[in-house]
Structure 1
């Protein structure tokens, strides 16, 4: 016995060793065979990662495993991925490995894991899955094309697959996700049964309308397969759409030129709970515990061929009569539910598909709502005929259905409206073809959305429908501090609701208080720190112009609040289009004066932008420059002024998230005129330091009445063109620039009467004609640099010396010529007699006189402007 067991053990060991080593002999051969089969049969680029052959994983079968595979199209879909996946496994009998190179290998099972299939049909009808190599030569049993693999499947499986189908011609997009499918049968037989189980999430979109969104579908079915005639007949089966059960009878047959369908389907029971099952679970959650009365049935038929011209004829009826439902944890029930809808096609032509709603009605409490109508010519220019009538309390939606709404709703909606239109007229904005009549109203409506800082509350809104026009009879609304009264005309309410057009119209809007801060929204953004592990969040207040409005508003507001400003009696015209607000003829009162404004603001891009023309008339300087950062930037020194100002400003630039200007982005120009102004030098360090430096300047006597200047803005700098003003009879000419960082670069020229320059100069002037002495002035250049809070003041005394010297010398020459006397002799010579001209035969030379005069002037001005410093004297001031 021990000897027998030993022999058996040795035999099993040899078998296991052969099983373990056999892939070393067959794997390379199999990979070459797979590649040869692909090259002979597919017009596509196929690639994979690992290729593995095992005799253990599917014992007693051999398992061929291909990982990370892809099938990429060639022209005309070059570069498109037709299919890919993490794993493809082919099972086959071990004996298949020992076949000769001329015999095909028979595959018994296929297994796909995390596969993706991407099917496309372009606008010309070409398909990306038509990749089989076509050959005109007839195939024979000995043909090379028969070499490779034959799929006589017994089982196949897809696990966690994704399938996309896009038909560009009909603009149809079907997306299947979480696809799990198994099939068990025998594809080697001409007649057999195939047992399948399928689950998936289905989404369906036709053009811009999404009809299904991740709806759960399942099908457990047994099919009779007639592989010779490609005919598949439903036997035992049950399908589920969400939780709605359906059963099918009939067959699908694949022909050479078309597909033939003959199917009927219906709900296996008539419980009204079947209706709730159609609604995605996202909205209605579980149906356990829901009590229902009445019935709900689906009964349908599809019969005909499917090809480039025809679809199956159809007749699908949905019906319910006097039904109700109530969720156990909700306070209210929906009662008196009646549904009579029918989808039909009697010709097999797609355009002849139509929907009839014989009646749809329901009641919540004592409020009845009904609808009926039809939609014909569904796939081309749809013809819509609908009627709505009844009352709906929006707050009851959450009291009858366990819906997870994005925001709470409340309010009473009433409607008695009929409408008749075609979709071409809707899309082409031919509003005269939209025939609507009736009334609709909304009262006590409250709406909360993240796009608005405060809830929007509509006390009442009344609409009157007439052909081609909808009148907003009245609207009363509030949000935060804001109150609104509005009326006007809506051009396209139905196109706005039906085809996502912008809401168009013209409205009159009145408000006692309109606070723009009420329409800010909070956005939270994450900012990374020095390391990825540290993150901080910041909150920004943003204002967004609605992207669905294409409207004109003629508005007036007793009080308009923007940021920290309050504008009185604001009125004008506002045009909103493509997230851009354009304002015209806007007038208001602010800072004790009047303002006229035109321009635009756009929030369409990542960075909001603006352009404006602002006319300020007789505004209070202290108030305006104290509260408007933009004006303070224009002229920081203005905080020391008290009086009135006129200015016209033309600017464009970027805006912050709360629609305040980004000062560094400003480009434009301005003209400013100070009407009257008193000066407080202590409010401006620059003025105070200037007064300390030049002792004879009495800034209390600064006169800015009727001062005018022009300014240019660019790259955070303001360039100021030359302007003049007066300080106690001293004319001052100023020009230069300053920046957002409060740096300054200005040049002043003080036209100083010579008599202000002290006693020594007065002695010089005493020899002049009194009239000349009174009018003689000195141009004193002053440089202003540094910042407004820490100014640097430089005096160019050398230029002043030259100016005064030249004037005195010119006067001296003139007097010598006219009178033969030297008016400076006594002062320059200190009373001494100059060298005897008779000894030399002449008088004092002009060169000597010039040098002496210049030296005297230098000494005088040096003492006045710098304590004896020569030429330039620069003093750094501090705050």
Structure 2
């Protein structure tokens, strides 16, 4: 007996040890198999660390489980900066036998704990989840995984679905889901449990759900043959609102087939209140409520390009009431009966019927009704009647820090059809009266008083020309200042208007009463305006019939915000209005630290206000004693200041004159800046713009064209006079790149240049895109102490100094395809006649040929000795020796060599023996031809580099522009972060789009 127990115990220990050791024995093979299947299945960057993979047979015995931390997939271009999937922890279960011995590994379980999914579809339909390898005939390749999954578990995952082709956006947080079933069958049942935070669901710009808690449990029937997904009886909830959903969703060849029924389940009036924004808070459970609620409907039919499902949705509330425990008055006697219905499958035949709507705000009753027959004829029958004491309303819905008093009286009724072609509108009789309203903010000692609004909307016959909106009075008082106005609009077909506004408003006081976050504004605006006209005249462009006149005066205005931290201050500004223009007679302001005065006019302003594509025209004169443009640079992520591309409006036609005593721009200090500018069709043009800078005078004409914001263009004609060479080197990146020699030059230069190219997003020229032609003139300059000079004197053994003096140089230059080409020009190097030609690349490379004529005697004793050995020639110490020197490498690290000879001694011997006096030109011509052949090859290489750089810059600019569209995604992520309370032991699982992993092996 004892022996038997020991044998059994030994076998058990052996089996246990085997189970523990098995994953370690076969880990390399299993990991290799997983990696192989990923590589063959996924066409994207998959990142994970092999060292983070662990294997176990105990987690889901008899399956073997592979666990990994920090796993993810990054999309292919144009989604290379988007993380499609990131998982904090993932466990994948396999059939062990299939992994070790089978041809096809069988996947039996998936468990995800923490992570994020970001699905993005572009306007053209490209999607970041399209990461499988297509076959040659366009069909997806079958892969070697077999699906035997019987368990899927997901915990704490966030999902963002951003489909720009459908204008559909969804953000879900804290998703938890669990499903079990035999997925290998064609038809199987799948019990599902799930819950999530619905942070945002928006379709075509309309938000449908925000900040709602969802949970559900149901039994699904999956029919893969018919692609039909059926829902059995289940429990679903949005916040406290419970409902049942049953039926099916099927995917036929065309469209989506729906047959869904839904109904409220065990709900009270409090349940529907949980869906009202702002009410489902931590104190919701203590809310006092009563009343019943019924909800139900169906959604049935085919959704496709040509059809829409029919539906019927109904909700009824009887005797509803709610009251916050700490407040004295309830909202009571709530009666709502609503039905939205479509029986035809044509969405335009949707009807809305609300025969009953009523409630009491304390002792203030409000009641109404509304019926809309369809979305074609727009037959309407509606009414709203109510009187509301604002002081009593705030005892039901208090507004923190705000006291309200006064009366709101609404009595409105509309019945009839709207038909713009037949010029028919409903009969309308509506009155709105705000009486003696008092508004007091805790942030400001004085209240807004005597706020009165008296408005009527009437149409007694149903004809458009009988339509009248009459705002007979609008006004309020704030301390000793008041605003009064009126407006009357008549005849709906032509929209005649007649109105006025007069008074003074103190913006600082208003902002204290109605504060706005991260914004400071103060100052007074005084207005006395009359306006009269017809929108029909606007459409017919009869602007001379529009009569708007009066004055507006601004005093001590100041504005600053997060987007405008520099601040704008207007000490005083006056404008006169007339029907055809606005005259800015005075504006004394300070933008940031810079004083700025302006005057001028705007015309076509009524058309600009009333028509979408109208052009605002005008003329402005701007003057400043000192303008600091660097204040308006944007701050980069690294904290450094950098310019950014400025997009110009296309519907403004302005001519401007500018006069500034001093302008600070980047590292330049510009004096006596004068010029004229024209802004038209989104292009800014300069004419006769002049300034003193860098010790000389600069005049320019040209344009800045940012209509393609990813590749803004510039085109300039420059006239430069007496500019300092070293100062130009320090100030201009273009000079540093293409004329590095300037760092060792002293003196001044003149030039006439035509300059064009593309600007990068920091408003600096893309060097590889420059197109420049011109003539550079140097009256006198000194060149000294450079590695280039030292290399030449060392190579030639000429006993000359490391200083050169230049006089009266004219250098023709051209920049194209990233290469500065210098055509041959003559100059004196020391006392020798020389010719220089060559190029400098935008990448810093140089390639020049220097041809000199050097008297033989200048080469020293060795040359004299060679002369003495050569007889029968007329060579002597004054014989000119042709010396050709090649300059390559970079300017600061030059490669200097003799063209046509490997040493100066060999060059001397060959030249003298060849009777130099008759053949020296042939030698240099041969060298020059060889140089030009090599130059062509270098040009092609630099041009290729230039194209690559420009393509890279273009893509980066397109990404920057696209990033503006990503704001909604980032905002959704921030919402998820703010709404989700992360566990103390777990980090935030929402990952940024741009994923960079260090110390992790990228796969594929």
Per the TM superposition, whether the score is higher than 0.5 is yes
1:145 equivalent in structure 2: none
Aligned partner of 1:383 among 493, 496, 506: 496
2:679 equivalent in structure 1: 576
SS of 1:696 mapped into structure 2: coil
Aligned partner of 1:663 among 745, 767, 770: 767
Superposed displacement of residue 557, structure 1:
0.7
1:732 aligns with 2:834: yes
CA distance in 2, matches of 1:292, 1:809: 106
Superposed displacement of residue 450, structure 1:
4.5
CA distance in 1, matches of 2:600, 2:846: 52
Structure 1 297/519 Cα, relative in aligned 2: closer, same or farther at 3 Å? same
Aligned partner of 2:336 among 210, 218, 221: 221
User: RMSD of aligned C-alpha atoms?
Assistant: 4.8
1:183 equivalent in structure 2: 315
2:357 equivalent in structure 1: 237
The Cα offsets for residues 791-820 of structure 1, whole Å up to 9 and x where unpaired, read as 111113466655443336869xxxxxxxxx
1:423 equivalent in structure 2: 535
CA distance in 2, matches of 1:323, 1:809: 107
1:556 equivalent in structure 2: 659
CA distance in 2, matches of 1:768, 1:389: 109
Superposed displacement of residue 541, structure 1:
4.8
CA distance in 1, matches of 2:647, 2:364: 43
SS of 1:467 mapped into structure 2: coil
SS of 1:408 mapped into structure 2: strand
1:517 aligns with 2:630: yes
The Cα offsets for residues 365-423 of structure 1, whole Å up to 9 and x where unpaired, read as 11111111222344x5433322111000111222223x435622111111011122333
CA distance in 2, matches of 1:424, 1:599: 41
Superposed counterparts of 1:698-709, under 5 Å: 698-699=800-801, 702-709=804-811
Superposed counterparts of 1:349-360, under 5 Å: 349-350=463-464, 352-360=466-474
2:887 equivalent in structure 1: 784
SS of 2:389 mapped into structure 1: coil
The Cα offsets for residues 745-765 of structure 1, whole Å up to 9 and x where unpaired, read as 111101112332345755887
Superposed displacement of residue 558, structure 1:
0.6
State the TM-score, normalizing by the size of structure 1.
Answer: 0.62
The Cα offsets for residues 608-652 of structure 1, whole Å up to 9 and x where unpaired, read as 432222221111112111222212223111211111101122222
Contact 2:624 2:659 in 1 (8 A): yes
Contact 2:444 2:509 in 1 (8 A): no
Aligned partner of 1:454 among 558, 563, 566: 566
Superposed counterparts of 1:432-471, under 5 Å: 432-471=544-583
Superposed counterparts of 1:496-515, under 5 Å: 496-499=608-611, 503-515=616-628
Superposed displacement of residue 569, structure 1:
0.4
1:400 aligns with 2:513: yes
2:525 equivalent in structure 1: 413
1:675 aligns with 2:795: no
1:313 aligns with 2:430: no
Contact 2:864 2:877 in 1 (8 A): no
2:385 equivalent in structure 1: 266
2:100 equivalent in structure 1: none
Aligned partner of 2:296 among 157, 161, 173: 157
Structure 1 770/375 Cα, relative in aligned 2: closer, same or farther at 3 Å? farther
Superposed counterparts of 1:828-839, under 5 Å: none
Superposed displacement of residue 467, structure 1:
2.6
Structure 1 390/810 Cα, relative in aligned 2: closer, same or farther at 3 Å? closer
CA distance in 2, matches of 1:258, 1:774: 108
Superposed displacement of residue 490, structure 1:
1.2
CA distance in 1, matches of 2:495, 2:392: 29
Higher RCO (CA-CA < 8 Å; seq separation 6+) = 2
Aligned partner of 2:439 among 321, 325, 328: 325
1:837 equivalent in structure 2: none
1:741 aligns with 2:843: yes
Instruction: From the CA coordinates, give the structure whose radius of gyration is larger.
Output: 1
CA distance in 1, matches of 2:375, 2:718: 75
Superposed counterparts of 1:65-214, under 5 Å: 65-68=246-249, 88-89=261-262, 156-157=295-296, 182-183=314-315
Superposed displacement of residue 223, structure 1:
8.2
SS of 1:575 mapped into structure 2: strand
SS of 2:413 mapped into structure 1: strand
Aligned partner of 2:749 among 627, 638, 645: 645
State the TM-score, normalizing by the size of structure 2.
Answer: 0.55
Contact 2:355 2:371 in 1 (8 A): no
Contact 2:262 2:296 in 1 (8 A): no
Superposed displacement of residue 355, structure 1:
1.8
Superposed displacement of residue 489, structure 1:
0.7
Superposed displacement of residue 257, structure 1:
10
1:165 equivalent in structure 2: none
Structure 1 652/428 Cα, relative in aligned 2: closer, same or farther at 3 Å? farther
CA distance in 1, matches of 2:524, 2:577: 19
Contact 1:388 1:415 in 2 (8 A): yes
Superposed displacement of residue 238, structure 1:
1.6
The Cα offsets for residues 11-66 of structure 1, whole Å up to 9 and x where unpaired, read as xxxxxxxxxxxxxxxx99xxxxxxxxxxxxxxxxxx98422455999xxxx99812
Structure 1 507/52 Cα, relative in aligned 2: closer, same or farther at 3 Å? closer
1:693 aligns with 2:795: yes
Aligned partner of 1:594 among 697, 712, 731: 697
1:565 equivalent in structure 2: 668
CA distance in 1, matches of 2:588, 2:375: 66
SS of 1:705 mapped into structure 2: strand
CA distance in 2, matches of 1:426, 1:703: 70
Structure 1 255/718 Cα, relative in aligned 2: closer, same or farther at 3 Å? closer
CA distance in 2, matches of 1:567, 1:482: 14
Structure 1: gaps of 5 or more residues: 1-26, 29-46, 93-111, 116-153, 161-178, 185-193, 200-217, 525-535, 812-853, 855-879
Contact 2:351 2:375 in 1 (8 A): no
Superposed displacement of residue 497, structure 1:
4.6
The Cα offsets for residues 475-532 of structure 1, whole Å up to 9 and x where unpaired, read as 11112331111100111444455556565311010011111112223365xxxxxxxx
